[in-house]
Copies of this chain bind each other. A is one copy, B any other.
Amino acid sequence: MKEIAKGIWKLTYQTPEKFTPCSMRKSKIAVEELEKIDLEVCQKLPFEEKEIILKTTKRGVTVSIPMQTEEDIYGFGLQLKSINYAGRKRHIKVNSDPTVDTGESHAPVPFYISTAGYGVFVDTYRYATFYMGTNSKKGASSSKKEVNQPHKEFSESALYSLKRAKEQRTVIIDIQGAEGVELYFFAGTVKQVVQRYNLFSGGGIIPPMWGLGIWYRVYGGSKEEDVKKLAEQFREEQIPMDVLGIEPGWHSHSYSCTYEWSSLFPNAQDMIDSLNQNGYHVNLWEHMFVYPAAPFYQKLKDYSGEYEVWNGLVPDFATKEAREIFSDWHRVQFVEKGIAGFKLDECDNSDFNPSNWSFPDTAEFPSGMDGEQMHNAVGILYQEVIAEAFEKQGIRTLSQVRSSGALASSQPFVLYSDLYNHKEFIRGIVTSSFSGLLWSPEVRDCVNETDLLRRIETVIFSPLALLNAWRIPNPPWKQVDINKNLENIWMEKQEYYTKQCRKLLELRMSFLPYLYSAFIEYQRKGIPPVRAMVMEYPDDLEVRTIDDQYFFGKDILVCPLTLEDGMSRKVYLPEGKWHEFFGTAVYEGKAWIEVSAKEEEIPLFVRENALIPLAKPVLHITKETVFEITVLQFGSGEAEFILYEDDFETLEYKQTGVKGIRIYRKENGVVEILDKAERYRFL
């Protein structure tokens, strides 16, 4: 075991595979940043190297690590079904519709964090299985001899409920198909392990400021004129809006794709130009399966996989040729012409839905990768290909992707899903934060007006504030019912709901500088801008299973409600004083409280002695946007917040850095702005 950076060790076992996240990575380990953080914390793992047992069998490599019964386990990428994996299995297989809690997801990651003070990353694209203390070794229970104890409950759920056993357990990692492997161990608290993993992955991204604004995906049946009309309508109605996403219909053929404009968009460039002039950023839907009529089909054929998907080629993004063909086409045809980002659909896989699309695990690719590896890798590879088109132009993007995986923190992409349970979408915000992933709980179909508001309340406190109206030609605040929306029939109270939605979207816009600063911390320190409570309060046993409250930026605890919750919910406040953001009440923590919230309200709590810079909401971000900032104060102790500024959109910060503006308050003092700002004006 070799220490490769501060608090990070590598263990190499026999001959690792050729295609792994680390062997294929483009990002570099942020070694300097790793040196800077957490000088005071424990740099040791809670077990000896000799306790890690590695074996090779015909199936592959098996790793065993001792596990104590009190350890709680987090990570494994985006997980929509549960948060704490102590006593459970996780199967790291990318899958588009994981309707059951197996570990499969759009973005599973072979990385976990234990509350025992360590994390493990397994450098593999194989469908590894992690048994997180599901079993004890033979004989561990031999002293048990209780007999004739009465059975208490007779139900299936009682029989198979998860019980925490008292015997010494084992973490077993099953890496089928591998002959060797590299493991990375990270020391520290839950948060420190996450930081180290993110910096090991290259640090977090800095999004363009417009990417933090409001996103809207337009109706799938839209023509050019419809998009322009909608864009004008948003401005007229003073609805904040930064990004318009255009769905499959822009391709002259989709499922699979041509990457050329269809006859529905006869003057596409005019449309893009006019949208851009009007302050919009345009995002285009696509997937990677290349239809025979696509202009680069023939060129790509030799650099694509053995089987077709939806009649299209599957590019082998592990070859330089396929990367270049794809990336260059996107740069020249779209990025240079004003397109700001893409939505990369269906780069996951499907076992659970009827059509079982995508390529087989056995598929051979020219690079030498097989289908299994490609499935777990392609989300990341595809992101790199598209990101490169922007990097060459020197501009940032923030784009969408439906699959991601290991070492993702430096990819300018946010995950989304077709699945649609609101509680699970909130849980996704929490779980994705452990593994360098960003997740958007997009607003899509809504049962009713309350559901619409509740879902918007969640999405505005997530990494990406996305409304996806692909099934409806009019905004949901005019009509939530799909069929009526298609017939342009408005809801009775559409004016009222337009106003409430506008207010919530404005609330998002007012948090942009605050959130942008959180992203700078993500890049520099690896601290996720939106994150699980257990990262902040790792020793509070109460927070270890909380999957419906989370931190947004430095000091705000978000407690969303869903339609099912009605107008109130339970909230847990950890140690310390907590201030209502919208109200004036102050609570003493380490307590559960009942919180009421009208349909247009979301409970936010602020930590004692926090300064929250709030902007006057703008309708959209421009090159010249200067935010008018009011600093909200909570508590009366010493307090500090650093706002960051730069051009908010290019990659120049990589050379010049990002400037920090220090907002400071002494105990019982007034707030002072200690640096000069250009993009902020303090009120």
User: Which A residues lie at the B interface, using CB under 8 A?
Assistant: 57-60, 62, 87-89, 91, 99-102, 129, 131, 134-149, 151, 154-156, 159-163, 165, 167, 170, 172, 174, 176-177, 179, 219-221, 248-249, 252-255, 258, 262-264, 291-293, 297, 301, 304-309, 311-314, 350-357, 359-364, 370, 372, 418, 470-471
Contact = CB atoms under 8 A, between A and B. Distances in A.
Contacts of A220: 151, 154
B313 A145 contact: no
B134 A356 contact: yes
Given A102-B351, A306-B138, A159 B57 contact: no
A471 B153 CA distance: 9
A167 B89 CA distance: 39
A418 B160 CA distance: 11
B57 A362 contact: yes
Contacts of A305: 138
A141 B255 contact: no
**Copies of the chain in the assembly:** 2
Q: Name the prevailing secondary structure of the A interface residues.
A: loop
Given A147-B293, A312-B141, A361-B129, A355 B87 contact: yes
A350 B159 CA distance: 13
Contacts of A312: 141
A58 B172 contact: no
A141 B311 contact: yes
Given A141-B308, A160-B354, 9 more contacts: A57-B364, A88-B356, A102-B352, A144-B292, A146-B293, A148-B262, A154-B471, A156-B418, A176-B177
Given A141-B311, A172-B360, A361-B174, A252 B135 contact: no
10 contacts: A57-B370, A59-B370, A100-B351, A129-B360, A131-B362, A136-B308, A141-B292, A141-B308, A147-B253, A160-B353
B135 A309 contact: yes
A177 B59 contact: yes
A355 B174 contact: no
B355 A163 contact: yes
B301 A139 contact: yes
A151 to B, nearest CB: 6
A263 B360 CA distance: 55
Nearest to A152: B221
A321 B287 CA distance: 56
B174 A362 contact: yes
A154 B470 contact: yes
B88 A162 contact: no
A355 B144 CA distance: 21
A248 B102 CA distance: 28
B161 A354 contact: yes
A252 B150 CA distance: 9
B308 A138 contact: yes
Contacts of A254: 151
Contact of A160 (B156, B162, B167, B357): B357
B301 A352 contact: no
Nearest to A55: B362
